[in-house]
Amino acid sequence: MGHSRKSLAVLGIVIIAAILIASYYYYYISFRPAPFKTTGKLDVFGITEIYPTKIDGREWFIDMNNPTSDGIFNPQSNITRQSDGSWEISGRYNTGKFNNEVRMEVNTPLGQPEWRDVEMTGYAKVTVANTPFDSLVWYARGGMHDSLVPCEGTSLKGRLTANGAASWIKEIWHTGGYTNERAKVQATDSIVGRWIGWKAVMYNINDDKAVKMESYLDDKAKNKWVRVTELIDNGGWDSNRPDSVFYSANCGKTKDYIITNGGKIATFRSDNLIWDFKNLSVREIRAPSK
């Protein structure tokens, strides 16, 4: 009996040591934030802009007093004002894989350019989550995501999971054109119960033949941004769906279609989460020269 207890104790120590070593590697070796320059300019909320707004480009900032007053922002779910001035959203109920789905849309008025090269910013405090996979997702470069118009549903999605993992996913059509994750990194620890800032940036490069994606994290909600992912899609990032599914929508796109097009809607998304949000924005940016 004594020998068995001693063996279990040793095993427990070994397991704890392995977890500590793995955690050290994950946070201090596998993820090293890269330096970057910003514009040095602050937006209307006092948040750092990574890239400048395009000359005569569109800018949208949420009205924190009355978010839906502009006719552009559609949360598609009930939102509730909180004592700190933020808004809580739990999403619309949906049976199946994605419950409490949040799809807060920033639309394009008639006659205005679509969202393409954009910097999307928002602050969030997740209060309820099923870790580790539930996530916040900022995405753009598409229209309606509806099975009635599947080919409109293109998007580049900058994800941050409830346990702090960042990545990108491409959607070539809705819903049979998803890819696997790329640029995945453990950017921080759990984001549940605290405010964080999240930015998703996308812009065309190489004469509109490729697209670059970047995401940024303000881990302590103090306007201290760290670039956590960089990814270029210049081909070869295929949908993970079988050919019989991918080509069934007849969208006329290849399986590694590069989403260089713009789209009418930019979306702040989550599934299975309840969270507070504030200071959302979408800006049409001037992409850096290559």
Question: How do the domains of the chain map onto residue ranges?
Answer: 1-30, 36-284
The predicted pLDDT at position 208 comes to 97
Contacts 24+ apart (CB under 8 A), 260-263: 260/204, 260/208, 260/209, 260/210, 260/211, 261/116, 261/141, 261/154, 262/113, 262/114, 262/115, 262/116, 262/141, 263/114, 263/115, 263/116, 263/140, 263/141, 263/142, 263/143, 263/152, 263/154, 263/155
pTM of the model: 0.88
Question: What's the average pLDDT block by block, 10 residues per block, for the chain (290 residues)?
Answer: 57 54 45 77 98 97 98 96 97 63 96 97 95 90 96 98 97 98 98 98 97 98 98 98 98 98 98 95 88
Assigned architecture for domain 36-284: Sandwich (2.60)
Distance CA 169, CA 118 (A): 16
The predicted pLDDT at position 95 comes to 55
- E strand or H helix that includes residue 7: helix 2-24
The predicted pLDDT at position 37 comes to 83
The helix/strand/coil state of 244 is helix
The predicted pLDDT at position 1 comes to 53
